Structure 1
Amino acid sequence: MTRIRLIFFAQIALYLALVPALPHGASPVFWLVSTQDDFLRGETQNISVDATGQILLGPNIELIYDTTEPFIWSLATDGDAVWIGSGPKGAVTRIARDDGEVTSFELDTLSVYALAIDGQGGVFAATGPDGKVFGIDTDRNVRVVFDPDEPYIWSLATDASGTLYVGTGNPGRVYGITPEGNAELFYETSAVHVRSLVTTEDGRILAGTTTPGHVIRIEPDGTGFVLLDSGYEEIADLHIASNGAVLVVAANSSTSSVTVPTSADASTASTPAASAPSTTTSTAATGNGTNGAVYEIQPDGIWNLVWDSNIDTPYAVLDDNETARGAIIATGPDGKVFRVTADNSSATLLTSTHAQQITQLVPDVSGALYFATANPGLVARLDSDRVREGTYHSEVHDTGTLATWGALTWQATTPGDSAIELFTRTGNTKDPSDTWSDWSAATELPRGTRIENPKARYVQWKAVLTGRSDTPSLHSVTTAYLPRNLAPEVTEITTHAPGQVFQQALAGGDPPIAGLDVERELPSTARGPSSPEIPATTLGRQVYRKGLRTFVWKARDLNGDQLQFEVLYRSDEAPVAAAWTPLKRETDSTIYTWDTTTVPDGIYSVRIVASDLLANTSNDYLTGDRDTGPLVIDNSPPSITVPPATRDTETITLEFTVSDTHSPVERVEYSTDTEQWQLIYPSDGISDTTEELFTVTVDVGDFSRMVIRATDAMDNSATAGTSFEP
């Protein structure tokens, strides 16, 4: 804890030392990039981001072939060549290992979705949407090996006997083709597509399906058993690791940035993609709210989650020889390759490419790793040797307002001949463009260099790592800046009805009124509306207290400053230049309850003032305010004027007037025995003004006195009596 505090105060001291002339206002802000999640938000080129949150020089990537097509769907290697299946021209390309000779075979189809080495120097190629399997031999002869009714063939696998297994789409079936060319239906799933196939050493077949995303183990006798119900839409890839476990790539096709045709109609299949088509369309991701996951199924059937992401979609997987039971995962839409441990305890961004998707991973006999991409369609080789230079671009940081820049500091390790240089640029658009400033001169001082770019809202930095024999490692980068102070805002005031207050949510006793000063709290006498206990969401129970008025407000500060508030009032009869009278000063609460019996009746306005003084100096703080508008304060009862009654032999008639200074007359009653009250209406039939005339006619009876009770709209009541001569 002490070390962290010392580092923090050292950064502040450095900031003040480097920028002594900065204007005061808001508090300085330190944008820190130090964790793996932080670094993964940026863009990498020949850079790895390890699990501890540091960036290093990445492995060397050698471009093998550019197909000039947008998609490479399949990749296979043997001892002599690398085979590529691409689209949408539907070509198979062979690249010789020894001399790099390129041979292409156009199959008169849109896409080659799967390849399988035939063991004799040739290859099998599966296509769609015409649904055929082609064979290409060492003499470059192309023949149709299998032509089923299904429109898509997604997957191929061979076993030790030379039997070729074929996974189809719509419907999802598995066919077996013997070395003699005899084909028969081996297994029919209930899924829409069979997206992936692998064979095991004991003669079983594992099939990954789409809609639903199941992994099915198929026995030699043709019976099936579901090993994994992933919850995702499809099983995009299966790989048997060296320890016998099965690595499974599960994904939701709706999260992929490339799409596929939704029917088997070849005339509409203009843009094939890295996920299987479906006869149904769904926008719901069923796989635990993430884009995809990688699972490991042990030989005993127990499975565990290896990796998942709600940002990256997995396409292919291999086991990793450099980490025990680890995996290499190829993803999109940002063309990343991750190295993860099998227990999901750590993940490393191994490398990334300019392509959007990495669709295939294939190991090389030399220990290198081949991968294929889409958008654009490339084949490259990943070596164990590191590159000598890599570049990292941070995400664009939004300061929220115009900012003055302070110091750029970082922590790094630079062994041997390795080095790190940092650059900065600024601008006022969310995405960098030619309207931004140029990159600054390189800085090599980790302890801090002032950022010389122009004041702006957005900032970005980049790091260039170099090393011939060793790799540097960048652990953290801190950018200091001073945002322009912005005035706080009171965005909303809710004025509750007269007498409507809220109890604080305290257990036991009569809870105090939220927002009311203790010294002004009234005795708990209650008379109110018919439903006084309507619960308030955060303020406790709603009750009625005559003479109180509750105000609740919302405020914001774009600098994120801590705010305090002042509550004031002023009579609307006061001059415009008259001062406002404080009700409450320096409170951080956003509720206030006013005891209106402390002021004369009249028309008033209430003002809420928000201040950022707590985060700024007394010379530089700013305020913002909002008024309620006119409020009627009326705590005085109405007046009842009762002239003498008129009578005849059978009735007594009384005409009287009820008036109020500020509020309409709401309710008038009379009683001749003070026990039963009779409601009466004004002469014009409606109580809607501050003065109303009433007429009461009663039969001459056994009484000599009448009591009149009048109540105004503010719940103030008055009574008056009159006597009759016998």
Structure 2
Amino acid sequence: MKRRHAAVLWATILLASSQAWAVKTSLWTQDSPEEFLTGDVSGVTVTSEGQVLLGAAWDSVVTHLPEVSQIWSMAHDSKGRIYFGTGDQGRIYRWTKGSPPQLLWKTGSSEIMPLVIDANDDVYAGGSPGGVVYRITARGDTSRYFDTGEQAVWSLAVGKNGTVYAGTGSRGRIYRITGPGKGSVFTETRDLNVLALAWSKDGALLAGTSSKGLLLRIEPDGTNRVIYDSGAEELRAIAVLDDGSIAVGTNRGSTGSGAGAGAGAQAGGGAPGGLGIEVTPAGGKCGVSLVEPDGSARLLMAPPCEFLFSMIPGEGRSVRFTTGNPAALFRVDASRSYGLLGATESKQLLGLLRAGKETYVSAGNAAALYWLGTGFGAQGTYISEAHDLRSVASWGEARISRSGGGEVLWSSRSGFSKTPDDGWSPWSHEVPTKEFAKIESPPARFLQYRLRFRRGPGDPPVVSTVEVAYLQRNLPPSIASVTLYGPENPYFEGGPEYRPPQISQSFPNGMKVEYSLPRAGPRPVSDASAAWARGIRSASWEAADPNGDVLRYKLFIKEDKETAWKTLADDLDDRAFSWDAESFANGTYRLKLEASDAPDNPDGTAGTTERLSAPFLIDNVPPRVENLRTTSRAGSAHGRTTVTVSGIAIDADSRIARIEYSVDGGEWKQLFPDDSIFDSPEERFHFDVPDLLPGEHAITVRASDSQRNVSVGKIIAITR
């Protein structure tokens, strides 16, 4: 959902005299299919062009079937009567317009998943578990037509000669059934379940499988080949279009074909407050692909529904398909133009049936049968999601961009819970929309609007944009953390240039010497060579504003023994600051950060927040190297002497972090204290300088504290 901030001339000024409200008008904008698809629809369509318009009329024609959870499948006979199979009781019903449904048979199976009717109006149904094909003749006679011996019958198809084909699981076999009790294995699919069967334009049998998600073509002799590998777990639905192309519906998860139909169908539920649908090119849990006659295939649509259940051809090169969790009916065509045609309170829309010019949709949890009319209905309703403004807000006006005839009525309600309940305000009075509509709901954190479409002369009404202007109650910023970085954090050569790449020095005699610093790439600066960096202290912080306001920062500093805060920096817009701490005396300090949303709020209404840092040490005094002493003994070579040097490194405030020595200006060599660990402000040390030649030797000891302050001590050793 987009959240745009703008200074809008058309917004009504709300509570301008109150100091509790922000000064910046914000917009909640819906103008794309992804945004509109988060709402609930009834009798309206949401298109891939980001339009909401009147759709076909919906009517529930069958509801409240006792002990029935799902209506899985439907078929119609030559008289226009609708037959449907159900779960969890495995019943077969017949429904005629204007009459209640008639129970024809309690089969004994738990689920009647597929159901087809042949040219003689005989009804065939597949049961699971049990793998039985049932038949109800046109005269009403019932029989167990054929027992496959498999766990389940997932799909059925009737050939032109009346032969029945049954797709089964869990050995992935298709049976050809020629009469009562007469049948055999027609083909082995080399997969677990055959979930869908259909006839191609040239008369070949098509099959969709799980768990490999394959589309197979089966020739009359039973040989089969893969014509499309979906990459999904299930290829659940097949629709053959007039031009011979094949649309398929897939699921990345199982709808329950592996472990019983009811389990998958009943899992989960729709997102509260709306469909929560975001249509993406790829990556959803279910999808629709198109396989062209030349074998090429492409994804048309992948809404992130939990399951796709059924599919039928639509007008031209389009299909309609049903989904579960959320329960929705979609349309998509070969150009990837799509529309949400409807949604229900049931958790799944399971079956689709085209009966002449009419379309029927079946549902599960709760079981229902819906009639879908042709053309545009007389009226419909769109209800937005319950939009979270993140804080209490007051409303301006809504701008509705619409076209077409008829009328669109606006109303709204508001509340303080994510899901609308009795604690919300009632729906406001409906007002006709021209370009603007006044929002009459009381201030709250959540807002929901309703658009009621009514058809009139000419084209149906179309809404393409809804913008809601609001003012949030101004909330103070929040500071999550203030972090200090001192000289113990290593500096690097390269990257930001803290010192020039070349320096020069002039002497009184006119000579000038230039020094070039090494450029061997970023490397840590040694403790001893980082004198230029020892005084640098840096702080960074994480802060945010719940209203999305621009923030400004002030930084203060105080030593623990002081009583007044001193300003270190003012009017900062970055979330980091560095300063030279060498002008501060040794001691333990804290920073105080103040964040303000004043740039987006007038004087007297801005919110501020403060946060203290952890204590940190400033130490600009180097350690001392004291009590240097030497003792001598014979070296390992004739005429050589080994000298042992001992001493102590002491610092007033920091721990000693490093001790090194050099002999006669040579290379620095690191050594450890006597207790082997640098953990205190006082460290004793000793070391051997082996095999010195006779003469005078300058032995230099360098000590560094944890703040990178450095001092040097020297002792002269004379060997003979």
- Give, in whole Å, the separation in 2 of the partners of 1:684 and 1:221: 89
Change (3 A) 1:152 1:653: closer
- Give, in whole Å, the separation in 1 of the partners of 2:426 and 2:448: 11
Change (3 A) 1:703 1:212: same
User: Aligned pair 1:12/2:11, yes or no?
Assistant: no
Structural mapping, 1:240-255, within 5 Å: 240-254=240-254
User: Aligned pair 1:426/2:423, yes or no?
Assistant: no
User: Aligned pair 1:663/2:654, yes or no?
Assistant: yes
Structural mapping, 1:654-693, within 5 Å: 658-668=649-659, 673-675=664-666, 688-691=679-682
Displacement of 1:136: 0.9
User: Aligned pair 1:363/2:354, yes or no?
Assistant: yes
Q: Would you say the 8 A contact 2:488–2:708 is kept in 1?
A: no
Q: Would you say the 8 A contact 2:352–2:359 is kept in 1?
A: yes
SS of 1:37 mapped into structure 2: helix
Partner residue, 1:280? none
Displacement of 1:22: 4.7
Q: Would you say the 8 A contact 1:172–1:194 is kept in 2?
A: yes
Q: Would you say the 8 A contact 1:111–1:272 is kept in 2?
A: no
- Give, in whole Å, the separation in 1 of the partners of 2:426 and 2:34: 27
Letter in 2 for 1:38: E
- Give, in whole Å, the separation in 2 of the partners of 1:643 and 1:304: 82
- Give, in whole Å, the separation in 2 of the partners of 1:421 and 1:380: 26
Q: Number of aligned residue pairs: give it.
A: 670
SS of 2:244 mapped into structure 1: coil
Change (3 A) 1:164 1:602: same
Structural mapping, 1:317-328, within 5 Å: 317-321=311-315, 324-328=316-320
Structural mapping, 1:168-183, within 5 Å: 168-179=168-179, 182-183=182-183
Partner residue, 1:266? none
CA distances 1:248-295 after superposition (whole Å, capped 9, x unpaired): 1112344x5xx56726xxxxx8757499xxxxxxxxxxx953121122
> Which shifted more, 453-462 or 19-28?
19-28
Out of 606, 620, 624, which is 2:609 matched to? 624
Partner residue, 1:585? 570
- Give, in whole Å, the separation in 2 of the partners of 1:656 and 1:329: 86
Displacement of 1:556: 1.6
CA distances 1:600-648 after superposition (whole Å, capped 9, x unpaired): 3333223333332222224322233333232222222224555999999
TM-score under structure 1 length normalisation = 0.82
Partner residue, 1:341? 333
Change (3 A) 1:343 1:672: closer
User: Aligned pair 1:74/2:63, yes or no?
Assistant: no
CA RMSD across the alignment: 3.8
Change (3 A) 1:378 1:692: closer
Change (3 A) 1:502 1:396: farther
SS of 2:24 mapped into structure 1: coil
Partner residue, 2:368? 378
Displacement of 1:223: 1.1
Partner residue, 2:470? 481
Out of 32, 45, 50, which is 1:48 matched to? 45
SS of 2:712 mapped into structure 1: strand
Change (3 A) 1:19 1:447: farther
More strand by share: 2
Letter in 1 for 2:117: I
Displacement of 1:719: 3.0
Out of 597, 600, 606, which is 1:612 matched to? 597
- Give, in whole Å, the separation in 2 of the partners of 1:326 and 1:685: 79
- Give, in whole Å, the separation in 1 of the partners of 2:659 and 2:78: 104
Partner residue, 1:62? 59
CA distances 1:175-216 after superposition (whole Å, capped 9, x unpaired): 111257631211011111111112345442111111011010
Identity of aligned residues (%): 29
- Give, in whole Å, the separation in 2 of the partners of 1:667 and 1:682: 9
User: Aligned pair 1:32/2:29, yes or no?
Assistant: yes
Change (3 A) 1:502 1:93: farther
Out of 460, 482, 485, which is 1:493 matched to? 482
CA distances 1:97-125 after superposition (whole Å, capped 9, x unpaired): 69777352221221111112122122111
Out of 696, 699, 702, which is 1:703 matched to? 696
Displacement of 1:596: 2.1
Partner residue, 2:505? none
Letter in 1 for 2:289: Y
Out of 342, 346, 349, which is 1:351 matched to? 342
- Give, in whole Å, the separation in 1 of the partners of 2:392 and 2:402: 30
Partner residue, 2:636? none
- Give, in whole Å, the separation in 1 of the partners of 2:210 and 2:118: 26
Partner residue, 1:634? 619
CA distances 1:629-683 after superposition (whole Å, capped 9, x unpaired): 32222222224555999999x9999986654332234455666744477878778
TM-score under structure 2 length normalisation = 0.83
Change (3 A) 1:672 1:292: closer
Partner residue, 1:570? 558
Q: Would you say the 8 A contact 1:260–1:273 is kept in 2?
A: no
Change (3 A) 1:104 1:667: closer
SS of 1:13 mapped into structure 2: coil
- Give, in whole Å, the separation in 1 of the partners of 2:179 and 2:495: 89
- Give, in whole Å, the separation in 1 of the partners of 2:18 and 2:435: 20
Partner residue, 1:598? 583
- Give, in whole Å, the separation in 1 of the partners of 2:600 and 2:120: 76
Structural mapping, 1:100-499, within 5 Å: 102-179=102-179, 182-200=182-200, 202-254=202-254, 259=256, 262=259, 273=265, 289-311=283-305, 313-321=307-315, 324-344=316-336, 346-365=337-356, 367-413=357-403, 415=405, 418-467=406-455, 469=457, 471-498=460-487
CA distances 1:300-339 after superposition (whole Å, capped 9, x unpaired): 3232323221236322222222xx3122222222332222
Q: Would you say the 8 A contact 1:126–1:156 is kept in 2?
A: yes
Q: Would you say the 8 A contact 2:282–2:302 is kept in 1?
A: no
Change (3 A) 1:548 1:222: same
Partner residue, 2:275? none
Please, which runs of 5 or more residues in structure 2 have no aligned partner?
Answer: 268-280, 500-514, 634-640
Q: Would you say the 8 A contact 1:212–1:232 is kept in 2?
A: yes
Change (3 A) 1:46 1:122: same
Q: Would you say the 8 A contact 1:499–1:546 is kept in 2?
A: no
Displacement of 1:398: 0.7
Q: Would you say the 8 A contact 1:503–1:543 is kept in 2?
A: no
